[in-house]
Structure 1
Amino acid sequence: MAERRGGNDALNFPILIGDIGGTNARFAILVDAYAEPKMFPVVQTADFETIDEAIQASVLDKTSIQPQSAVLAVAGPVDGDEIDLTNCPWVVRPRQMLAGLGLGEIIVLNDFEAQALAISSLPATARTQIGGGTVHEGASRAVLGPGTGLGVAGLVRARGMWIPVAGEGGHIDLGPRTPRDLSIWPHLKTIEGRVSAEQILCGRGLVNLYQAIAAVNGTDPQLATPAEITDAAVNRRDAAAGEAVDLFATYLGRVAGDIALIFMARGGVFIGGGIFQRIIPILKADEFRAAFEDKAPHSALLRDIPLYVVTEPLAALAGLATFARTPRFFGLETTGRHWLAAPGT
């Protein structure tokens, strides 16, 4: 039987690290504190009934290395011994994983806690700055990223440690501001009458926005998936897709500015997520930055906050690896999120 405890004691190597989103799961093994992670192919969550099966088939069956510990980041709140993912039918059961996968301990984090861990040490080569701003060393940072959902997290510095702050910030309200917004909003699909940021700023949200624009224009939507919409926008094949991507960036800039204010992120705001990566070739950087700064009466404050695009596609795994190697450098509360195998098992 497994027990749970808190604390940031060193983990036993080899360590399995995993970033589990709504659509994809990425795994690697850290053999020791100095080795580069041993990477494994990306897994489609829909291809496996459970996370245990995915780890066994795509990792353990592919290597002779037996992990002793695991640090997993999942797209959903970590609460209790059965952890539901927000946009995926997998349920993470750490007690069951300890016995079934031969692990000694498991730590489970929110996926954007992993992104926050990553931005504690993201090198300049893994990010691109948009606009101005000055990094205040030791100041709070924030990260958000549209993917299957909209993830948000903060990173604060205290007592010589970085402390990730996770939550469900992607579900804050997002409202119309311009006449065009006001024409689009009545056509958006809502959740119980409410438009949250995630209703627009994620994969299905981009489709939602595109369909609303088509409805306002009085045309039939010709595209059905986020990939089709971004591809049509990048290649200028569909005017509604182009407007949807432009507005997507504007709305993301607005929300990023809100998150900057919430965390007073003078250390920078970082934008991740695969969707944003795909629209960078046609991103109107000046408009994106303007939407970020348009926060009267605090526009001057926002002008001084750096805004970055994360260009490292495996940032979450990098963050997990950083934590796994040196957990003492992070003020990460693991009580209720850390499971140990019973002695002798």
Structure 2
Amino acid sequence: MARSSDLDTHLPFPILIGDIGGTNARFALLVDAFAEPRQFPIVQTANFSNIDDAIQKCILDTTSTQPRSAILALAGPIQGDEVPLTNCPWVVRPKEMIANLGFEDVLLVNDFEAQALAVASLSDSDREQIGPGVEAAGASRAVLGPGTGLGVAGLVHAQHTWFPVPGEGGHVDMGPRSERDFQIWPFLEPIEGRISAEQLLCGRGIMNIYQAVSAADGKEALLDTPSAVTSHALDGTDPSAVETVSLFCTYLGRVAGDMAMIFMAKGGVYLAGGIPLKILPALRKSAFRAAFEDKAPHSALMRQIPTFVVTHPMAALAGLAAYARMPDRFGVATEGRRWKS
């Protein structure tokens, strides 16, 4: 049962850490505070009816070291004893995990809360800077991740502690600004009557933009997957795909700039997830950074804030491992999100 007051932030080792997205689930086992995480093969969520089956078959049945606790980062808001994922049919039930899988302690956090924990200590080798700006030590940071959906989180530093700030910032409204935006906006597929950032800045968002660009130009949309669009964009073989990825970078820059101002993220704005890595050559061009800085009357301020692409292959797991080792370094709220046997 979730307890309202847990003064002890430490979870018993071994600890299973997991990053559960809409498409993929990544797991690692942390034997103790000094060990490197032992990573398991990536799990396709569509291959299992629920998360308990996935953990049992892919983790517990494959290791002699049985975890006593679990820290799981989930793509969706965490409320109550049953937590559905936003872009996956899995429902996480910590009480059942404790009863059926042998855990003593289960902590659930937002998936981009885990990304925020990671960016507290990324080395230069785990990130690539895009554009100008200088990171201010100890200053707030923000992280965005276009993937199956659009994750957003903040990271605030106070009293020698990093406080991750989870939320659903990926669902903020988006509107047209340029003349080209007004041409393609009528052809975008809305969600319940509006265009949210996630309707544009994720895998299906790439297709949404591509189909709208094609329709606005009176062309047939020949490509049918996000990977096809990005591949043809990067090699320059499809003009509509090239424009789609350029617009994607522009829209991502606008939202990243908004989050930078909301969190006053002078410590940097970080782009996480698979899509930024795949379109890194396009992000290096001017569209993303120009849109990020185009925030009058604060454009001069925005030019000082650095932006990075996270290149660490398992950043969320690295963030969870850092928390598992030294939870006192982070101000992670556990009320209503931690269950004990």
Instruction: Verify same fold: TM over 0.5.
Output: yes
Look up the SS of the partner of 1:113 in the other structure.
Answer: helix
Report whether the alignment pairs 1:198 with 2:198. yes
Q: Alpha-carbon deviations, 1:259-287, whole Å to 9, x = none?
A: 00000001110011211111113334322
Distance in 2 (CA, whole Å) between partners of 1:80 and 1:206 is: 33
Bigger CA drift: 225-234 or 111-120?
225-234
Amino acid at match of 1:173: D
Deviation at 1:220, TM superposition (A): 1.2
Matched, 1:324 2:321: no
User: 1:75·1:87 contact (CA, 8 Å) conserved in 2?
Assistant: yes
Q: Match for 1:94: what amino acid?
A: P
For the residue of structure 1 that corresponds to 2:155, the secondary structure is: strand
Matched residue type, 1:165? V
Question: SS of 2:61's equivalent?
Answer: helix
CA contact (8 A) 1:7 1:334 kept: no
Structure 2: which amino acid aligns with 1:187?
Answer: F
Structure 1 segments (4+ residues) deviating >2 Å:
2-9, 281-287
Q: Which amino acid aligns with 1:4?
A: R
The one-letter code matched in structure 1 to 2:66 is Q
1:288 aligned partner: 288
Alignment of 1:3-22 (within 5 A): 3-5=2-4, 6-22=6-22
1:134-155 Cα shifts (integer Å, max 9, x gaps): 2111111000010000000000
Report the 3-state secondary structure (helix = DSSP H, G, I; strand = E; otherwise coil) of the residue aligned with 1:4: coil
Query: Partners in 1 of 2:88 and 2:157 — Cα distance?
Result: 32
Match of 2:253 in 1: 253
Partner of 1:156: 156
Question: Would you say the 8 A contact 2:139–2:266 is kept in 1?
Answer: yes
Larger deviation, residues 233-242 vs 20-29: 233-242
Contact 1:10–1:327 (Cα < 8 Å) also in 2: yes
Q: Secondary structure of 2:279's match?
A: helix
* SS of the residue 1:25 aligns to: strand
Instruction: Report the Cα offset of residue 234 of structure 1.
Output: 1.6
TM-score of the two chains, using structure 2 as the length reference: 0.98
In 1, are the aligned partners of 2:2 and 2:335 still within 8 Å (CA)?
no
> Is residue 2:41 matched to residue 1:27?
no
Shift of 1:3: 4.3
Q: CA deviation at 1:235?
A: 2.1
Unaligned runs of 5+ in 1: none
Contact 1:22-1:86 at 8 Å conserved across structures: yes
For 1:108, what is the secondary structure of its paired residue? Answer: strand
**Equivalents in 2 of 1:283, 1:327: separation in Å?**
34
Q: Unaligned regions of 5+ residues in structure 2, if any?
A: none
| 2:116 paired with 1:116 | yes
SS in 2 for 1:19: strand
Residues 70-112 of structure 1: per-residue CA shift (max 9 Å, x gap): 0000000000000010000000000000111111000000000
d(CA) in 2 for partners of 1:183, 1:193: 18
- SS of equivalent residue, structure 1 residue 175: coil
CA distance in 1, matches of 2:37, 2:254: 36
- The separation in 2 between residues aligned to 1:261 and 1:70, in whole angstroms, is 34
Asked whether the 8 Å contact 1:8–1:328 carries over to 2, the reply is no
Amino acid at match of 1:216: A
| Alpha-carbon distance in 2 for matches of 1:89, 1:239 | 36
Does the 8 Å contact 1:135/1:268 carry over to 2? Answer: yes
Q: Is the 8 A contact 2:151 2:170 kept in 1?
A: yes
Q: Distance in 1 between matches of 2:183 and 2:25?
A: 38
Structure 2 residue 167 is the aligned partner of structure 1 residue 167 = yes
Please tell me the residue identity of whatever aligns with 1:311: T
List aligned pairs for 1:174-253, cutoff 5 A.
Answer: 174-253=174-253
1:145-197 deviation per Cα after TM superposition (whole angstroms, max 9, x unaligned): 10000000000011111000000000111111111011010000001221111
Q: CA-to-partner distance for each residue in 1:281-318, whole Å, 9 max, x for gaps? A: 33343221111100000001101111111111210000
The 8 Å contact of residues 144 and 256 in structure 1, kept in 2 or not, is answered as: yes
- C-alpha distance in 2 between matches for 1:61 and 1:215: 50
Give the root-mean-square deviation of aligned CA atoms. 1.0
Residue identity matched to 2:3:
R
* Matched residue count: 340
- Taking a change above 3 Å as real, the CA distance of residues 45 and 279 of structure 1, as seen in their structure-2 partners, is same
Correspondence 1:305 to 2:305: yes
Tell me, in whole angstroms, the C-alpha distance in 2 between the residues paired with 1:160 and 1:149: 32
CA distance in 1, matches of 2:122, 2:171: 26
Instruction: Give the match for residue 140 of structure 2.
Output: 140
- Report if the CA contact (8 A) 1:164-1:331 is conserved: yes
